[in-house]
Amino acid sequence: MFKLFSTKYFLYNLLAVIFISCANPRPPSGGPPDKTPPKIIDFYPQNRSLNFDGNNIFIKFNKWVDRNSVINNIFLNPPIRYKVDWNGKKLYIRFAESLPKETTISFLLGTNYLDLDGNQPTEPFYLVFSTGGRIDTGRIHGKVIADGMQNIYVYAIPTKELNDSLFDINTSFHYRTQPDNLGNFKFEALKADNYIIFSYHDKNKNKVFDYGQEDFGFASDTICPSTTLLDTVIIIPSPPIDETQPFITNALALNPYIAKLTFSEPIRISVSQENITNTIQFIDTLTNSFFTPFFLQVDINKSNELILYFLDSLREGLYQIVISNPKSISDTAGNPIFINKKEVIRITKTNIDLPIGIFEKNVQLKTPTDSLIITFNNPLDTINSKLSIKAINMALKDTFDVGYNFLQPNKLLIKIPNLKWRDNYTLLIQSKLICDFIGIVYSNKSFELIVKVEEEPRIGSLQGTLIARIDSTFGNPMVMLFSPKKRYYTKVVNNFWKFENILEGEYQLIAFYDGNGNKTYDSGKYRPLQLSERLIKSPMKITIKKGWSVEEIRF
């Protein structure tokens, strides 16, 4: 019986070993962790081979790699159907169709694959060969300026593809490559043609460009590649431009005098409270009565909700919304709300009790000279509401009175005197009598919040001269100072430019023509297709330090 058990145990282990060896084999463990990137040490055919007539190619790695990540990073131009086989560290690409004759074929293995220790290559691998007696000789070299190069792709798209009215950047023929870890990319063996160069950050790693979701950018000109290298093509991907109009997704009457509209995305109001009556109206479809809010505000805690306050009570039922100035309510990108001229919403009453309160629990001031704004959840009767405000210095335990002004029926402007960097205060707002907008009286109310002043920012300045011949027909010359988190802009006047109050850090400095006059750098548009604004000077790295004034930068 012991013998039978031992035999079964041996068979189980043997099957386990066989199963594991069919997946990603691993070398024996032990020793310090391997931190070196994977490399390709052998391949077939030789690079730039002519008259290739085989039905497969191969590459061999110097170490064990994650096979799925390798397979997901293979690109063939032109597109050819293929299958993959593995033999140890060697990968075979077996073509599932006849190769086109007299054609240059480029095989690319991108940089988004890993070895079994999690190391990633520093640059893509190219293999170029031809089924005929010549290889296409077009070359384009360039650089992508972005925060990190993982999942960055670059396309070279023949301009003749743009003639199709249904042009899709993912399905139209294109050469594809990836930059190395410094952002440098290259296309080799291109056909003689004109190309647009496009780059994007494949955030969801699906190997296609998702419009409206992923950072992207175009080169500023079409490129005609040649056998000799020309100027480096620069691409600066930018976050996608929000072009979608917000729309109403829900409507609710919180009580007979307060309604809430929920939108598809965060919104903002650009109309003064005095002009609300000329902006938005509700029309009762049953009685044809008009209801105009005397006040409205965006919910601080839910920025996609607009709260409207009415002096006349709303009944439950259907209302048509009329907005005379759609641009007065927009999303955070400035897109006006979408309102159908016959937009009808249903108001359902919930009779929610909304006792007076404030939205803020904590306030962070950027500088000691800043004032703070306190927002009530309902508009107040500012004449009959009497408040007492005290500030308590948390470090000194010192209490003193603070003055206030009503900016709007729901907003208090408060200035705490003699603030310093990193100060902490408790603010007490008390009242024996508060009246809201419909006359409800609240007695002996008190609110408390914490006020903090941020640390003194570490800032510096930068100025210099733009050494270039300016051609204003392309637009106004500007300089951009940018990092992954922030972009600063300044005008160029008589070739001189200056930045002040710049946060400490590493930046790229670039000069460009502001072709559309919006005072920012535009990386191009996809629909309709538009190339990026023209660069005057290629980026150079700049370090800003606290208290430093970097001068006489000539670039």
| CATH code for the structural domain at 459-554 | 2.60.40.1120
15-26: pLDDT as tens digits: 333 343 445 666
Q: Which CATH architecture has domain 40-235?
A: Sandwich (2.60)
What is the pTM assigned to this prediction? Answer: 0.76
**Tokens standing for 134?**
């010549």
Closest to 314 in 3D by CA, of 342, 281, 338 = 281
- Region(s) of the chain under CATH 2.60.40.1120: 459-554
**Tokens standing for 182?**
């410094």
- Region(s) of the chain under CATH 2.60.40.1220: 248-347, 362-453
Among 23-37, 341-355, 391-405, 534-548, the range scoring the smallest mean pLDDT is 23-37
- Region(s) of the chain under CATH 2.60.40.3710: 40-235
Whether the predicted pLDDT of 60 surpasses 90 = yes
Whether the predicted pLDDT of 196 surpasses 90 = yes
461-507: pLDDT as tens digits: 999 999 998 998 999 999 999 998 889 999 999 999 999 999 999 99
Whether the predicted pLDDT of 93 surpasses 80 = yes
Contact call for residues 114 and 157 (beta carbons, < 8 A): no
Whether the predicted pLDDT of 403 surpasses 60 = yes
Q: Which residue has the higher pLDDT, 197 or 333?
A: 197
H/E stretch holding 309 reads strand 305-309
Give the Cβ contact number of residue 408 at 10 Å. Answer: 17
Mean pLDDT of the chain: 87
Q: Residue range 123-127: average pLDDT?
A: 91
460 Cα distance to chain centroid: 26
329-368: pLDDT as tens digits: 899 888 988 887 777 888 877 776 778 889 888 999 999 9
Q: How far apart are CA 88 and CA 110, in angstroms?
A: 20
> Which of these CATH numbers, 2.60.40.1220, 1.10.3720.10, 3.40.50.300, 3.40.50.2300, describes 362-453?
2.60.40.1220
Decide: residue 29, CB within 10 A, 0-12 exposed, 13-18 middle, 19+ buried: exposed
242-275: pLDDT as tens digits: 888 999 898 888 888 888 899 999 999 887 766 6
Q: Output the pLDDT for position 229.
A: 60
Q: Output the pLDDT for position 53.
A: 93
Whether the predicted pLDDT of 419 surpasses 90 = yes
Give the Cβ contact number of residue 483 at 10 Å. Answer: 16
Of the segments 56-60, 142-146, 255-259, which one has the largest average pLDDT value?
Answer: 56-60
CATH 2.60.40.1220 fits 248-347, yes or no: yes
Among 129-143, 172-186, 340-354, 399-413, the range scoring the smallest mean pLDDT is 340-354
